[in-house]
Amino acid sequence: MRSDLTWTDYIVRGGLPHTARKLERGEPVTVAFIGGSVTVGAGASDPGKTGYRALLADYLRRTYPRSEFAFVNAAIGGTDSTYGAFRLKAHALDKASVDLLFVEFAVNDAGDKEASVRAMEGIVRRTMRTGPTTELCLLYTANETGVARFAEGGVPANIVHHEMVAERYGLPSVCLARAVARIIGAGDMRWSDFSRDSVHPNDRGHRLYADYLEAFLSRVLTKTGDDNGGTEAADLPPPLDPFCYERGELAIPNGSVHAPGWRELPGWSADRVCNWKPPADIVLGDEPGAPLVLRFDGTAAGIAFLAGMDTGSIEVAVDEGPYRTVELFDRYCTQFYRPKAVVLADGLPPGSHTLAIRISENKHADSTGRSLRLLYGMVNGSFLGWE
């Protein structure tokens, strides 16, 4: 274990007293991870053994042998905190009664303050409302650009945005990016020693992350404090953003889509894929014309889909208003099919709304088709149905 973790690399704030107390008693503990490709283990020679998440799990089992551990992996490569907020319930909180949730999205968020705070605060508030004793720890992993920013004396914008949420809710955070920057700045390591690209750690990098997290946990888990049962929903402070995605959830089709021009395809597969493993149950829309309508009660809605070579453009309308075109095809679509999520209606007044989606006649010049391969609808509120 490294011994040079400094106070500038982490902030304890409220700590992890509930988890510490359960470990002290030798009780079962469930640890969940939600994040992007770094948490999946990308860059490691064997993500299930040499990725930081796997190494940290080994450390916990080894250090606390009286406790039985369960681990939930809710990481999806290439995804940001916005998709994380909408899928948190289905992919993590519904899987088990989580004691400790690690959240890692700092390198994937796009630098938009409103989007990052709205999503990260949604993750935090949804978690606290679901399990009042569930504790969270925010992780800020490194990319080459962020390391350069620290070297200049600054802090990457996404970390600043996430720290606003951590401060608001008294959450511990570990800035792995700052630790990496300090080592590189001291001349003890080059970026190329840590990663083969601009983001993903190699085995040495994942080991470094795990070492720092072990050092952090060895300190914070020794401070059990008073086990007051956590924070009740009524005790949560007012949100930083009243439109945060604290009621985010996935609207799964499950045989309920019957709109003309749209059809459910269970077990769809593709050869060139990234960040998911075929098959997947999808709803395919590839005929311009009739809309698929998502009905919901809440303040925001969107879609998660598999973007790829034949992804087209869509037209969307909120509450029977005018349609606007949304381009779904991007520079990665020519290479493979991958999960992608977009919010199509946001900041709506609370209440019942509709989001209509139809395939556009027009498409990106590089797309081979006009398809939308829908995985889920996303709503910040209650899903009312498809029509």
- Per-residue CA distances from 310 to 45, 141, 335, 368, 376 (Å): 32, 33, 11, 4, 18
CA 183, 187, 190, 193 torsion: positive or negative?
A: negative
Q: C-alpha distances in angstroms, 47 versus 38, 42, 57, 62, 332?
A: 9, 7, 12, 19, 23
pLDDT at 1: 38
Residues 316/305, Cβ–Cβ less than 8 Å: no
CA distance 209 to 329: 34
Q: What is the pLDDT of residues 319-366, one digit of tens each?
A: 999 999 999 999 999 999 999 999 999 999 999 999 999 999 999 999
Count of CB atoms within 10 A of residue 202's CB?
18
Average pLDDT over residues 151-159: 95
> Of the candidates 332, 5, 387, 329, which has an alpha carbon nearest to the alpha carbon of residue 178?
5
pLDDT at 267: 97
Average pLDDT over residues 21-39: 98
Q: Which long-range contacts (CB under 8 A, 24 or more apart) does 147-150 make?
A: 147/177, 147/180, 147/181, 147/184, 147/191, 150/177, 150/178, 150/181, 150/182, 150/185
Residue 229 has pLDDT above 80, yes or no: no
b/e code 299-333 from CB counts within 10 Å (16+ = b): bbbbbbbbbbbbbbbbbbbbeeeeeeeeebbeeeb
Position 343 scores a pLDDT of 98
Give pLDDT, residue 113. 97
- Counting DSSP H helices and E strands in the chain, the numbers are 11, 15
One-letter amino acid at 386 equals W
For the stretch 237-276, pLDDT in tens is: 999 999 999 999 999 998 899 999 999 999 999 999 999 9
What's the pLDDT at 385?
Answer: 97
Structure tokens at 111: 């630098």
Q: What is the pLDDT of residue 2?
A: 44
The whole-chain average pLDDT of the chain stands at: 95
Residue 227 confidence (pLDDT) above 80: no
Region 4-20 average pLDDT:
84
pLDDT at position 287 is 95
Q: Can you read off the two tokens belonging to residue 152? A: 């200049």
Q: How confident is the model at residue 235 (pLDDT cuts 50, 70, 90)?
A: confident
Q: Which pLDDT score is estimated for 356?
A: 98
Local confidence band at 290 (pLDDT 50, 70, 90 cut-offs): confident
Residue 232 reports pLDDT greater than 70: no
pLDDT at residue 105, as a whole number: 98
User: Is 56 a residue whose pLDDT tops 80?
Assistant: yes
d(CA 108, CA 156): 12
User: Cβ(138)–Cβ(107) under 8 Å?
Assistant: no
Residue 291 clears pLDDT 80, i.e. is over it? yes
Q: How confident is the model at residue 3 (pLDDT cuts 50, 70, 90)?
A: very low
Segment 201-212 shows an average pLDDT of 97
Q: Is the pLDDT of residue 22 over 80?
A: yes
